[in-house]
A and B are shown apart, each in its own frame.
Chain A
Amino acid sequence: MRHVLRRLGFYLVALWASITLNFIIPRLIPGDPAGALMARFQGRMTPQAIHALELQFGISHDPLWVQYIQYLGNLLHGDLGTSFTYFPTPVATVLAQELPWTLALVGMSVLISFVLGSLLGVFIAWRRGSFLDNVLPPFLTFFSAIPYFWLALIALYLLAYTLRWFPVNGGYDTSLTVALTPDFLLSALNHALLPGFTIVLASISGWMLGMRNAMITTLTEDYVLLAEAKGLKEGRVMFSYAARNAILPNVTGFALSLGFVVAGSLLTEVVFSYPGVGFALLQAAQNSDYPLLQGIFLLIALAVLGANFLADLAYLVLDPRVR
């Protein structure tokens, strides 16, 4: 329990850090990019909206700490400002529309990639020196060294554009209405297959190699030898004895990898014009939509921190030593 609280405390500090970074960055950058942009919106916004934006960008005459408290207060009310690109929609609304798509696509892909990669790692470590063990790591490493978005471009060109196996862009058939009907869900799944596949392909080698290397060390332990000597079933030795211990570094590594995988997935969404947070990121970056950019960063930080906390809890279940 103490461990959980300590980790929780750490994530709260990390969350505070990301919020504070979000507050400070616009105020530290030389020049006044936001001010120039604001000028464009003069007269199109209510004074309140302008005041809120001024707070966000630090174009305010209040002392810094007052601005900071106002900023935190706005955040607590879920007020992330107004998007320039989707003017006058609030950032929070834009994000709420796009988050489910990203959560479903990226969440599922990361999960599949983690489970499949770890399983593959277990198997190639078990059959070390076999054909698979020699071929799979370099092969998949090549894919992981490719920029995600490039892999996505190639997959899109070959499988969707040339062969027409998959839809070329979007998250669903636009002739359908967004609702929980079988037709819509099928169409959404069909559109998610190819982006999901490229994310899995690009990210699987990290999990696989981590698992393989930890597994190889674990396999030399005496208790594994003993289990084999006792004549236990192969599967039991492989999973309950060796893999269970070998997976710990992979769970710890989850924290380090997740941010990277999420970043890659965002770029994949851009390529597929997938209606998720990544696509909003592109819009925001190209239109200098600072409120939306900041909102996206906060949202992703929150999601990554949350996933890490879950990984920590999983670690607790897997490793009795930290209880």
Chain B
Amino acid sequence: MAMLPQSPEPVVAPLSQPQQGAGAGTTAGLGPAALPGPALAPTPVSERPWMSLWRIFTLNRKAMVGICIVGFFFLVAIFGPFFIHRDPSALSNDVLVPPSSSHWLGTTQTGQDIFSQLVVGTRVSILWGMATGLVVTAISVLVGLCAGYLGGIVDEVLSLLINVFLVLPSFPLAVLLAAYVPFKGPLTVAVVITLTSWAYQARVLRAQTLSLRRRDFVEAARSGGESTWRIIFFEIFPNEIAIVAAGFVGTAIYVILAAAGLEFLGLGDVTVVDWGTMFYWAQNNDALLLGAWWWFAAPGLCIALLGAGLALINFGIDEVANPRLRSEARPSKRLLRQMLARSLGGGPGSETAPVGASRSLG
């Protein structure tokens, strides 16, 4: 299972590995983890896959905390702007005021209220972040499943494409693209990020599809005369829904970070109020050297919290999928000895060990 045919990658990690960067890193196990092994048992789930996904979320404490954090931000994004009566871009004479009762998070150099900016910006950032995450996920599902199921020349070409995009540094490529596009704005940022970040998830799904395509239920569907598209999207896809969900969560983190990074460099529309452009203005007005820590603290804390919330959800999915990852103590040495003694039927010290055991990779 570890050796994927046709894949230029030498070995697909048997268990989770750092992914799309240490930061977006929290697809942690789920990505590749789900390839072999016990993870997310890819038995045909005829019973509603959505329900099992919901069980994953409610069973695990980390996932629950994550859901609460992310849920809070969604509520702010949806309802928050209705409670803001100050125009977030309105100038005032309260210049660079630290957080106080009239300006909860202080003001900018031109007297704009940072709390209003933050709440209004939350809607823009989350809306675009999630929408971009969805599109990226859709593309990687399409590419990954087609490559995995169709095989042959299609797989060769798509795999090469996936692997090339995996090793190309996606952020500098995004910067290059965003700089050339003449219209700046959230849409440009979203398209640029989509183009540069679909590959990771596609690789994970391709590997999973490869392992599913020879299962009995797929064979049955094929001999039953179902069309290829139906098999891919109605037989195989539902079995990968948990991986897709985890991938979406990981992608969403990456998208939000990358968007903030692009806008920080001034490649977004700087007149739109969102978390990234708040950074841009703070940096451009030397907020730091003016000692106005509140200016860049607020949006950064929001991104960090939202990112941590999403990461916790993925930890949760991971642990439910692979119980071995939970934080439980390993059995004590004495217990190990007893287990070994029992399984070998000899004493604990029996020197029957094959030399060079470390070479066998299990």
Contacts and interface: CB of A to CB of B under 8 A. Distances in A.
Contact of A216 (B308, B325, B337): B325
B310 to A, nearest CB: 7
Query: Would you call the interface of chain A mostly helix, strand, loop, or mixed?
Result: helix
Interface stretch (A21-29, A41-49, A173-181, A185-193): A21-29
B99 interface: no
B8 A6 contact: yes
Contacts of A126: 330
A207 B22 CA distance: 7
B167 A255 contact: yes
A266 B171 contact: yes
B196 to A, nearest CB: 10
Contact of A286 (B17, B265, B315, B324): B265
A165 to B, nearest CB: 15
Given A223-B358, A270-B265, A262 B23 contact: no
Contact of B359 (A148, A250, A296, A320): A320
A153 B288 contact: yes
A142 B14 CA distance: 26
Given A13-B160, A130-B329, A133-B327, A3 B25 contact: no
Contacts of A301: 168-169, 172-173
Nearest to B309: A145
A281 B266 CA distance: 11
A130 to B, nearest CB: 7
Contact of B23 (A161, A248, A260): A260
A56 interface: no
A145 B310 contact: yes
A95 interface: no
B340 A226 contact: yes
Given A206-B25, A209-B28, A217-B14, A281 B265 contact: yes
A207 B33 CA distance: 15
Contact of B304 (A142, A149, A253, A297): A142
Given A226-B353, A241-B357, A248-B11, A14 B164 contact: yes
Interface in A225-270: 225-231, 240-241, 244-245, 248-250, 252-253, 255-264, 266-267, 270
Nearest to A143: B304
Contact of A128 (B169, B279, B330): B330
A170 to B, nearest CB: 14
B180 A29 contact: yes
A203 interface: yes
Interface in A197-230: 202-207, 209-210, 213-214, 216-223, 225-230
A157 B294 CA distance: 11
A231 B351 CA distance: 10
Nearest to A160: B288
A77 interface: no
B291 A214 contact: no
Contact of A250 (B18, B258, B324, B361): B18
A25 B177 contact: yes
Interface stretch (B41-49, B81-89, B295-303): B295-303
A315 interface: yes
Given A210-B16, A213-B325, A259-B167, A153 B358 contact: no
Given A147-B260, A253-B18, A129 B327 contact: yes
A61 B297 CA distance: 51
B308 A141 contact: yes
Nearest to A212: B325
A142 B308 CA distance: 5
A322 B10 contact: yes
Contact of B33 (A148, A213, A218, A300): A213
A308 B9 CA distance: 11
A217 B299 CA distance: 38
Interface in B153-192: 160, 163-164, 166-173, 175-177, 179-182
A288 interface: yes
Contacts of A300: 169, 172
Residue among B19, B172, B330 facing the most chain A CB atoms (10 A cut-off) = B172
Contacts of B299: 150
Query: Would you call the interface of chain B mostly helix, strand, loop, or mixed?
Result: helix
Residue among A153, A228, A284, A322 facing the most chain B CB atoms (10 A cut-off) = A153
B329 A128 contact: yes
A157 B333 CA distance: 48
Contact of A260 (B163, B171, B181, B357): B171
B274 to A, nearest CB: 13
Contact of B169 (A142, A206, A304): A304
A216 B361 contact: no
A257 B330 contact: no
Contacts of B139: none
Given A256-B166, A259-B170, A263-B171, A217 B353 contact: no
Given A202-B23, A206-B23, A210-B28, A253 B13 contact: yes
A267 B325 CA distance: 33
21 contacts: A7-B8, A7-B10, A18-B168, A34-B180, A128-B327, A147-B303, A154-B300, A157-B288, A206-B21, A213-B28, A213-B322, A216-B325, A220-B324, A223-B360, A240-B358, A245-B361, A249-B15, A259-B171, A263-B258, A282-B265, A297-B173
Interface of B: 8-26, 28-29, 32-33, 62, 160, 163-164, 166-173, 175-177, 179-182, 200, 253-254, 257-258, 260-261, 264-267, 279, 283, 288-289, 291, 293, 296-297, 299-300, 303-304, 306-308, 310-312, 315, 322, 324-325, 327-330, 333, 336-337, 339-341, 348-349, 351, 353, 357-362
Interface of A: 3, 6-7, 10-11, 13-14, 17-18, 21-22, 25-26, 29-31, 33-34, 113, 117, 126, 128-130, 133-134, 137-138, 141-142, 144-151, 153-154, 156-157, 161, 168, 202-207, 209-210, 213-214, 216-223, 225-231, 240-241, 244-245, 248-250, 252-253, 255-264, 266-267, 270-271, 281-282, 284-286, 288, 290, 293-294, 296-297, 300-301, 304-305, 308, 312, 315, 319-322
